[in-house]
Amino acid sequence: MPRSLWTCILVYLLMTQQIHGNPFRRFASRFLRKSLSISDCSEGTYGSAGNCSACPENSNSLAGSTSILDCVCLAGYSNTSNDTCAACHPGTFKSDNITEHCLPCEIGTFAQADASTSCVGCSAGKYLNSEGNTAESDCIMCSAGHYQSGTAMTNRSDCSICDPGTFQTGTGMVSAANCTLCPAGTYQSGSAMLDPQNCTACAPGSYQTGSGLAAESDCAPCAAGSYQTGRSASTCALCAPGTYLTALGASLEVDCTLCPAGTFQTGRGAPSGASCAPCPLGTYQSEPGSAAANCTLCAAGTYQDLLSAASSANCTACAAGTYQTGAGKTGEGDCAQCAAGAYQELEGAAD
C-alpha cells in the first residue's frame, strides 16, 4: 500500500477519534509527523530544523523526531499523564521502551530496586505464589522434609519431597542431598519426614547394615548361630563357644543351646548341633556346653569304644582275667590277658 494512502487513513482515523489508547495514538502521530514534516534533530531530541529540544529525563527519541510525543520512556520507566517518565516502583518492571506502563513482577519473582528492567527469580529452596513482590524475603522457604533445586518457583507443590528412608529437619533446602539417610539399623517408610525419630528401629532379633532404607523388610533376621537383644542394630552377636543356634531371628542369648555332654565346640556362631564335635573313643565329657576339647580319658583298666560318651560310666571295665595299664583305651582288645601262672579275679584291673 502506498505511503500516501497510509497517511490519509491515519489522518481520517485520528480526526474521527477511531484510534483509542495512548500507545496507538502516539504511533499514528509519529507516523504522520514523519510523513508530513522533515527534521534534522539528533537522537534524544525533537523539533524542527535548527530548533531541537531535548527529550524529557529518562526518555529517548529517534533521530529526525519532530514532537515531544516522539520521546518514549526508557526501560524501567513509565509514561505519566504529564508526559514525564517515572521510575517503576519496587515490585514492578518495564523491560523495553515500547511498553507504556510498568508491570507487576510475576509469581516466583521480585524486584527490589526502583527502575527495574526485569524481576529476579526466587532462589533455590524457595517459592513465591503472588505477584508484585519487592524482596527476596518475600520468597517462602520449602518446609522441612522438602527441597527445591530450581529457581523462580511459583507454588508449594514445586518443593520436592524427601524420599522414604530419609528425613530433613531444615527449611529452604536446595537438593536431595540435603535429605539425611536414616542410619543403619533403622528404616523409614514414609516421605517428607522431618525428624530422625521418624526412622523406625529394627526389632530385636534383626539387624540392618545399610542406611536410607525404606521398609521393615529391609531389616534382616539374625542368621543361625547369632542373636540380637537390642533395637537399631547393625550387627548380630555370635553364640559363644560350646553353644549353637539353629533358628533365625533370635533375640536372646539364652536362645543359644548348649552342646550336649560328650561333645565340645570351640568356635563362635555355630549354626547347628552338628557343629558340636564328639569326644573321641576312649574319652568322655560329663558337662554340657564345653568350649574346649577337654574330654576326659577313660581310666586304666577300662576302654570306651563309642563317640560322644557323656560319663565315666560309659567306660567299660576290662573283664576278669585281663588288665589294662594305660588310660584312654578304645576297645576290648586293649585289655591284656594275665600271664601264665597269674590270675585276676576283679574286673577293670590296671595290673
The pLDDT value recorded for residue 48 is 85
Q: What is the pLDDT of residues 270-297, one digit of tens each?
A: 999 999 999 999 999 999 999 999 999 9
Cα separation, 227 vs 233, in Å, equals 11
Tell me whether residue 244 is in a domain: no
Confidence of residue 344 (pLDDT cuts 50, 70, 90): confident
Domain membership of residue 267 as a residue range = 258-338+346-351
Please check whether residue 317 lies inside any domain of the structure. Answer: yes
Average pLDDT over residues 17-36: 51
| Number of Cβ atoms within 10 Å of the Cβ of 24 | 12
Distance separating alpha carbons of residues 20 and 187, to the nearest angstrom: 68
Burial of 99 (0-12, 13-18, 19+ CB in 10 A): middle
For 2-16, 99-113, 174-188, 205-219, which range has the lowest pLDDT when averaged over its residues? 2-16
The 10s digit of each residue's pLDDT in 245-254 is 999 999 999 9
pTM of the model: 0.65
Classified as helix, coil or strand, 130 is coil
pLDDT band at 2 (very low <50, low <70, confident <90, very high): very low
Q: Is 275 inside any structural domain? A: yes
Q: Is residue 39 part of a domain?
A: no
Residue 327 lies in a domain: yes
More confident residue, 346 or 192: 192
Whether residue 134 lies inside any domain: the answer is: no
Number of domains in the chain: 1
* Residue 29 placed within a domain: no
User: Tens digit of pLDDT for each residue in 68-99?
Assistant: 889 999 999 998 877 789 999 999 999 998 88
Give CA–CA dist 335/349, Å, rounded: 9
Residue 230 CB coordination number (10 Å): 14
Task: Tell me the percentage of the chain whose pLDDT exceeds 90.
Answer: 76
Q: Which of 92, 120, 215 is nearest to 164 (CA)?
A: 215
In a domain, 136, yes or no: no
